[in-house]
Chain A
Amino acid sequence: MESKIKKDGGITLGFIIIGLLFLLVLSIILAITYGPVSIDYRDVAKILYYRIFNINTFEAVEILETPKTEIIWNIRFPRVLMGTVVGAGLALCGVVIQSVVKNPLANPYILGVSSGASLGATSAILLGAFSLFGHYGVAVGAFTGAIIISIFVFTIAFSGTGRGNTIKLLLAGMAINAMCSAFTSFIIYTAEDAEGIRSVTFWSMGGLTSASWNLLPIPLVTVILGTIFFLTQFRILNALLVGQESATTLGVDVVKMRKIYLILSALMTGVVVSASGTIGFVGLIIPHCVRMVVGSDHRKVVPISILCGSIFLIWCDVAARMVLGDVELPIGVITGIIGGPFFIYMMLTKSYGFGGD
């Protein structure tokens, strides 16, 4: 009688997380083996191990001087790490946003981040704005656009009467998104730079091509900090999901917490998107798939979504690199092609309500 309710939270969750961490490391190593030059996974593991732990044995030095090391360490590893970070960030923001607006259709881009980033990036690519940041002009432009537009969306949603209800936020996001897309289309339509137009298209579908050690630190640190913060917030995220009134009676300052979470999500999404372009679907489907399997409790949903988002995006990036042989596909094409049908499959086979009544 006594232990009818088991403390499943602890042990089972621990196993799941350790299992997923193992899968993540495995995915990182295997993903690095794919590319124009195929590299044995044992070599990948060795080289990463020697470099990361700074090992200087004779064997280590020998293998570190091969060209493989250059490919692995300077090209593929930062790219795979970027995939890990971006996948984790988008999945986490998806979880948070869905809880904050209590709407299963929500994704990190409803705050206007993606359309703002696209507008910023397009201006950078086609109009040469932000050129004083040189190589990082597109990233800086995207981030600036993302932040300005999400500030707009917040200001509209939280002003006037009714102090920021979530439907207003969703609608404000939609309206601003539509306006930004119109501006972006206008810039693209009037542009004559064919190469630029192609890179805008590529950017707006997302891709990890530009990933490098230089570009990695900001998204990495942002996503790690975001992860640490939101792992501590599971009780409040749960309370938000059952509604404003219940959350208040459970001692949660709903209005304040919603604002904090929205601002942090917008910042995190903005940073991630400016590094990778607007990769669709991850922030929507990963949280749902995780909820279908483990339920809505954020003790489980937050860490599992982060890990699944990383693993999912790493493999989507492998597909983006490999499917067409020597031409790289935008990763958004892959996430859509894989994610859509998978999502429908989950919908049809699992008894999951998607938050409908």
Chain B
Amino acid sequence: MRITVEDITVKIGKKTIIENICANIGNKEFVGIIGPNGSGKSTLLKSIYRVIKPNAGFITLDDIKLDEMTLKQSARKLGVMTQASNFSFDFTVKEVTMMGRTPHKKLLEPDDDDDYKIVNKAIERVGMEKYIDRKFNTLSGGEKQRVLIARAIASQPKALILDEPTNHLDIHYQISLLDLVKKLDIEVFSAMHDLNLAATYCDKIYVINEGIIVDYGSPKKVLTSSLLKEVFNVKAIIEENSFTGKLNIIFTGV
């Protein structure tokens, strides 16, 4: 599903958080967004998943404006994974994953065999099948993150938004999560912290700084030492790995 961001601006109070942002996610690409803390990555993603309403501009899913869809309609198309936090009341892994079915269900409709199959499969895909009856709040940060991915998968989205997906995950689960998401064969728009992972997994990268998109393109085009110096204020050597053909970023100082 194509996600189009048309010229959106978000202000909180008098402060402009992001300004005139345009973005295009389509062709089943994995699109990353990178930028320093407070640059507006999350605000942009939140505008797409409708927690924040932009002050100007609009967002479309397959050419339909978000404003013309109910929350339920857009939730059926767009899966979202945010950073895990504790719930104030405890649910089991199974119950949390089953919540992914919420947008597909009518008022009184019970969970049917299909729902259970979908939820089962989602939990297996993230490798949490041994934990189905565990309480969510008793899981480690990484395990929580995997359950939230399972919830997003269980809603069978046509595109996925990931807000800092690999926080709290050890390296094995960072890579297996990104592999998993890549295999879903849908559009993914993800905030990325680790630039090496961004270089490896993203087809396209948006670079955002102080609320403005400063660069866009393939990792090789975007990730240059001058851009990293300018946006992140770090010195880095960037070379192409002859074995993988991907970029390696080696940080040498600030």
Instruction: Tell me the chain B residues, 83-114 only, with Cβ under 8 Å from chain A.
Output: 85-92, 94-96, 99-100, 102-103, 105, 107-108, 110-111, 113
Best-surrounded residue of B79, B91, B119, B155 (most CB of chain A within 10 A): B91
Report how far A250 CA is from B75 CA in the complex, Å.
6
Q: Point out residues on B near A: beta carbons under 8 Å.
A: 46, 49-51, 70-76, 78-80, 82, 85-92, 94-96, 99-100, 102-103, 105, 107-108, 110-111, 113, 116, 119-120, 123, 129, 132, 137, 155
Instruction: Judge whether B89 and A9 touch: CB under 8 Å.
Output: no
Does A5 lie within 8 Å of B88, measured CB to CB? Answer: no
> Is residue A70 within 8 Å, beta carbon to beta carbon, of the partner chain?
no
Contact B91 A249 (CB under 8 A): no
17 pairs, CB–CB < 8 Å, chain A vs chain B: A236-B102, A241-B87, A241-B88, A241-B89, A242-B96, A248-B71, A249-B75, A250-B99, A251-B70, A251-B71, A251-B73, A251-B74, A251-B76, A295-B92, A353-B137, A355-B87, A355-B89
A contacts with B, residue count (CB < 8 A) = 38
A232 to B107, CA, bound (A): 6
Contacts of A135 in B (CB 8 A): none
A357 part of interface (Cβ distance < 8 Å): yes
Per a CB cutoff under 8 Å, which of A5, A98, A236 touches B120?
A: A5
Contact flag A7-B116 (CB < 8 Å), given A245-B51, A251-B103, A353-B137: yes
Q: Is the CB of A243 within 8 A of B87?
A: yes
Pair A239/B102 contact, Cβ less than 8 Å: yes
- A170 CB, min distance to chain B CBs, angstroms: 13
Q: How distant is the Cα of A224 from the Cα of B50 in the complex, in angstroms? A: 35
Contact A353 B102 (CB under 8 A): no
**Closest B residue, CB atoms, query A301:** B89
Q: How far is the CA of A23 from the CA of B100 in the complex (A)?
A: 35
A7–B79 Cα distance when bound, in Å, is: 24
Alpha-carbon distance between A102 and B120 when the two chains are bound, in angstroms: 28
A164 within 8 A of B: no
In angstroms, how far is the closest chain B Cβ from the Cβ of A123? 37
Set of chain B residues within 8 Å of A9, measured between Cβ atoms: 110-111
CB atoms of A249 and B87 under 8 A apart: no
When the two chains form the complex, which single residue of B49, B95, B120, B123 contacts A295, counting CB atoms closer than 8 Å?
Answer: B95
The 4 closest A-B pairs by CB, nearest first: A251-B75, A251-B103, A251-B72, A355-B88
Contact B119 A104 (CB under 8 A): no
| Bound Cα distance from A244 to B78, whole angstroms | 17
Q: How close is A5's CB to chain B, nearest CB, in angstroms?
A: 5
Contact B103 A291 (CB under 8 A): no
Name the one of B76, B78, B91 contacting A242, with C-beta atoms under 8 angstroms: B91
Judging by beta carbons under 8 Å apart, are A5 and B119 in contact? yes
User: Taking the complex as formed, is A56 at the interface, i.e. its CB lies under 8 A from any CB of chain B?
Assistant: no
Within A312-348, the residues touching B (CB, 8 Å) are none
CB atoms of A253 and B90 under 8 A apart: no
The chain B residue sitting closest to A297, CB to CB, is: B95
The reply to whether B89 and A250 contact each other, CB–CB distance below 8 Å, is no
- Would you call B120 and A2 a contact (CB within 8 A)? yes
Question: Other than the known A7-B116, A241-B88, A356-B88, what 18 A-B pairs have Cβ atoms closer than 8 Å?
Answer: A4-B120, A5-B120, A5-B132, A102-B88, A103-B88, A238-B91, A238-B102, A241-B87, A248-B51, A249-B49, A249-B75, A249-B79, A251-B76, A253-B70, A295-B91, A296-B89, A353-B90, A355-B87
> Shortest beta-carbon distance, B253 to chain A, in Å?
37
CA distance A240 to B74 in the complex (A): 18
Contact of A252 among B71, B73, B92, B129 (CB under 8 A): B71
State whether A248 and B105 are in contact (beta carbons under 8 Å apart), knowing that A295-B95, A297-B95 are contacts in the complex: no
B contact residues around A2 at 8 Å (CB): 120
> A241's closest neighbor in chain B, by CB?
B89
A235 touches B102 (CB 8 A): yes
Least distance between A104 CB and chain B CB atoms (Å): 7
Of all chain B residues, the one with the shortest Cβ separation from A300 is: B95
Question: Nearest chain B CB to A242's CB is how many angstroms away?
Answer: 5
Q: Does A67 contact B (CB under 8 A)?
A: no
Determine the chain A residues whose CB is within 8 A of the CB of B70 once the complex forms. Answer: 251, 253
Task: Give every chain B residue within 8 A of A239 (Cβ-Cβ).
Answer: 99, 102
A238–B99 contact, CB under 8 A?
Answer: yes
Cα A244 to Cα B23 in complex, Å, equals 26
Chain B: minimal CB distance from A102 (Å): 5
Chain A residues near B107 (CB-CB < 8 A) = 232-233
- State whether the Cβ of A10 lies closer than 8 Å to any Cβ in chain B: yes
Out of A249, A296, A357, name the residue touching B95 (CB < 8 Å): A296
Inter-chain contacts of A102 with B (CB < 8 A): 88-89
Residues of B within 8 A of A4 (CB): 120, 129, 132
Q: Which one of A98, A233, A249, A295 contacts B90 once the chains associate, using CB atoms below 8 Å?
A: A295
Cβ of A248: which chain B residues have Cβ within 8 Å of it? 49-51, 71
Q: Is the CB–CB distance between B82 and A251 below 8 Å?
A: no
- Give every chain A residue within 8 A of B120 (Cβ-Cβ): 2, 4-5
**A185 contacts partner chain B, Cβ-Cβ < 8 Å:** no
